[in-house]
């Protein structure tokens, strides 16, 4: 796997000068994913913060062939481009020894919700492509509306904290588990702040003969409410609290932890750094915080059992 020194010598294919927020986790994800890909690459992306902030006409931060389609279509577009590539090679119109990688990006809105149909279809059909979900846990680009990736009790503009409800009422969807259930060659979960874990998983994903999926916990300083210089710290805390475990799944069967905290910290430590959870630190919401902690603990134990098997 590539060392930090090797990665630093590779050309930047997601450049600076974009219009994303200071401290944006999505820009870190895009940069590191493309650094980990040493082959020529074609990128597709759904509508969202990463697309809007990096492609303001007539400028682009992407130094690779790049396709933007509709909100729900990143996986479908990528699968179509990958199919065209294989067809052209078969017809002799492209050199057979030329290897191009196909990478689709989407936020949680365009992946967990609007895009899950095209994502599931692309994975089921077996296209040789990597789909990367940068999960910032709400529809950040359009005003911080809740998504099915939004954590329970988080404040959003469509699930606000107030006298009626304490933020989002539901727990988030386990999309990584859903992708693992497709029994595709490679599925993984990682987080901003773990550059080696992320780049290693990208290299593994691009090496398999078939579809792969990586779900990246991606802090959003605007929607989550924290100072821009805390993005990496929050990403690391998500793993240390087991709020967002780091693991990989091969062929839907072999589950493996890629990071285990030396000391499992309480989720309160993570929530304490984010304005969207500040109400949970009040005494009247202690029961809700305890409920969330219990769910995290149970999910962690369930994951450990899968790993042991």
What is the set of domains in the chain, with CATH numbers?
Answer: 4-308 (3.40.50.970)
The residues, any chain, with a CB within 8 Å of residue 197's CB and separated by 6 or more, are 190, 191, 246, 258, 259
Question: By C-alpha distance, which of 78, 76, 84, 80 is closest to 66?
Answer: 78
In terms of DSSP bridges, do strands 41-45 and 66-68 run parallel, antiparallel, or are they unpaired? parallel
* pLDDT of amino acid 96: 84
* pLDDT of amino acid 309: 78
Q: How far apart are CA 182 and CA 276, in angstroms?
A: 33
In terms of DSSP bridges, do strands 246-250 and 186-191 run parallel, antiparallel, or are they unpaired? antiparallel
Question: By C-alpha distance, which of 149, 146, 147, 166 is closest to 158?
Answer: 146
Residue ranges in the chain modelled with pLDDT below 70: none
Q: How far apart are CA 75 and CA 230, in angstroms?
A: 31
Kindly give the residue spans of alpha helices, DSSP state H, lying in 241-285.
267-271
* Bond preceding residue 35 cis, omega within 30 of 0: no
Question: By C-alpha distance, which of 130, 146, 149 is closest to 45?
Answer: 130
* pLDDT of amino acid 289: 97
Q: What is the pTM of this model?
A: 0.97
Structure tokens at 283: 């005494």
């Amino acid at each position: 796997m590539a060392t930090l020194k090797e990665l630093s010598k590779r050309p930047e294919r997601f450049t600076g000068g974009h219009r994303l927020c200071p401290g944006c986790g999505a820009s870190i994800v895009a940069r590191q994913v493309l650094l980990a890909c040493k082959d020529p690459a074609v990128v597709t992306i759904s509508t969202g913060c990463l697309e809007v902030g990096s492609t303001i006409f007539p400028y682009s931060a992407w130094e690779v062939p790049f396709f933007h389609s509709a909100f729900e279509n990143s996986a479908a577009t990528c699968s179509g481009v990958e199919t065209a590539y294989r067809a052209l090679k078969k017809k002799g119109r492209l050199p057979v020894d030329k290897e191009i990688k196909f990478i689709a990006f989407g936020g949680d809105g365009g992946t967990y919700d609007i895009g899950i149909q095209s994502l599931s279809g692309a994975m089921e059909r077996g296209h040789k492509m990597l789909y990367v979900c940068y999960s910032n846990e709400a529809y950040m680009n359009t005003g911080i509306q809740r998504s099915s990736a939004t954590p329970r009790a988080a404040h959003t503009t469509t699930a606000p904290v107030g006298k009626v409800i304490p933020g989002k009422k539901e727990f988030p969807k386990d999309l990584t588990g859903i992708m693992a259930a497709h029994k595709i060659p490679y599925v993984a979960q990682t987080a901003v702040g773990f550059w080696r874990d992320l780049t290693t998983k990208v290299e593994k994903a691009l090496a398999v003969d078939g579809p792969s999926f990586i779900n990246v916990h991606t802090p959003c300083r605007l929607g989550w409410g924290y100072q821009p210089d805390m993005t990496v710290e929050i990403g690391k805390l998500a793993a240390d609290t087991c709020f967002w475990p780091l693991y990989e799944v091969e062929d839907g069967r072999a589950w493996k932890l890629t990071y285990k905290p030396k000391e499992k910290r309480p989720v309160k430590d993570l929530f304490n750094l984010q304005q969207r959870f500040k109400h949970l630190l009040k005494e009247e919401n202690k029961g809700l915080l305890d409920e969330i902690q219990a769910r995290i603990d149970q999910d962690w134990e369930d994951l450990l059992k899968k790993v042991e098997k």
